[in-house]
Every structure is written in C-alpha cells, then in structure tokens.
A and B are shown apart, each in its own frame.
Chain A
Amino acid sequence: DIVMTQTPLSLSVTPGQPASMSCKSSQSLLHSDGKTYLYWYLQKPGQPPQLLIYELSNRFSGVPERFSGSGSGTDFTLKISRVEAEDVGVYYCMQSIQLPPTFGQGTKVDIK
C-alpha cells in the first residue's frame, strides 16, 4: 500500500496569516494519463470530510480561492493564503492512483 505522511501533525495559525502543510507519498502519484491522483480534505469537528482539492491542484466546487494545492511526484503542499476562523479542523491528503486508496494521518489546524 502507498503510505501517505503528513507534516506537521498540528498547526496553530493566526487569522489573516498564511499557512501551509505537507504530504509525502511513498510512491509517485503521477499517472500515465498525466494526472496526479492527490486529494486534500478538511474535516471540521463533527462533520464528514469535505473535498478541497482534487487531482493535485483543482479546487472543488465552492472552495474558496485562498486554498491551493501544489507539488509533484511524491511531495505535495496545501496552502491557505489567509487563514480564516472557519478553516479550523483536520486536513487529510489522500491518494487514489493505486488500490487501496490511502489517507495521511491528518494535520490538525487551530487558531491562535
């Protein structure tokens, strides 16, 4: 199975400031079709995960522009340009290039 490793495990951020987190995969997530099968989710307390970014860098419908995904191969980053209070929760990366789909352990974000 592909192992997804997220860092840091927790992040305390100041509203209005940028934030970033990392996700590394044990194998390349670049498919022969040219797509990179890396996803980012935010799980707010008591809610299901909500998709933020799909296929490396595509914002899902309704996701604010302050969220952006980047990276290549095995190293990926989620950036929040200006953190807002509603961005608190646990962020997960996930790969779906190979069965089984696997998730990182999560980065917990809270507000200073």
Chain B
Amino acid sequence: EVQLVESGGGLVQSGRSLRLSCTASGFTFGDYALSWVRQAPGKGLEWVGFIRSKAYGGTTEIAASVRGRFTISRDDSKRTAYLQMNSLKVEDTAVYYCTRDQLYWGQGTLVTVSS
C-alpha cells in the first residue's frame, strides 16, 4: 500500500524558514517523481512543485508564486522528499500535501505563518 506522510509543519514568523518532509512507503521510492501541493484555509488547491526521479535527472520544477524562495530535494536512501521554504510570507499559510503522480496523497501538514 502506497503511503505518504508529511511532517515538519508548524507556526513560524514571517521571513523565517521551514523544511517539510514527505516520507514514503509501499513503492520503489527512487523510481517516482514527488510533488507538493498546498491548500490555503478555505481555498482551493495550488501546485507548488515537483522533483523528478534520478533517472530523469532529479531536477525540479517550482511554481512561479514561490520560485526563488522554495526548493525541493530528495534523499532516496531515506525514502524522503523535502520542501525547503525560505522567506516565508503570511500568504504561504496552508496545508501542504505531498503527492506521487497526483494519484496518491499524504494527509498533509499545516504551515501557519504569522506576521
């Protein structure tokens, strides 16, 4: 069974940094791209970015709205993908989901950015 578990969310002040983790099980982690999608309170879904598998270069694509502040990385030995969020803004407040292929989703982790 495919499982994705996000962690690392919490309350942080504007301008600070936070790193989210997505730990996977139930599939060959290194063979798949992993994506991050966020949802602000009471709002819709917004794609944040993804990281390709090493077979496709392990490169990343990041949404324009967070480019330059957010980066994505992965450690296949730990079956974990990361979302590094720097220079956080109040509008980054959201539940952050990790997804595989947009088919399988984690439960999400809440990030709250205070002013």
Contacts and interface: CB of A to CB of B under 8 A. Distances in A.
Asked if A and B are interacting partners, one says: yes
A96 B103 CA distance: 12
Contacts of B45: 41, 49, 92, 94, 103
Contacts, number: 39
A98 B105 CA distance: 20
Contacts of A39: 102
B63 interface: yes
B103 A92 contact: no
B106 A103 contact: no
B84 interface: no
A18 to B, nearest CB: 25
Interface residues of A, number: 20
A103 B44 contact: yes
A39 B44 CA distance: 15
Contacts of A102: 47
Interface residues of B, number: 16
Contacts of B44: 92, 103-106
Interface of A: 39, 41, 47-51, 54, 60, 92, 94, 96, 99-106
21 contacts: A39-B102, A47-B107, A48-B105, A48-B106, A48-B107, A48-B108, A49-B97, A49-B105, A50-B105, A51-B104, A60-B103, A92-B44, A94-B102, A99-B61, A100-B47, A101-B47, A101-B102, A102-B47, A103-B46, A103-B47, A105-B44
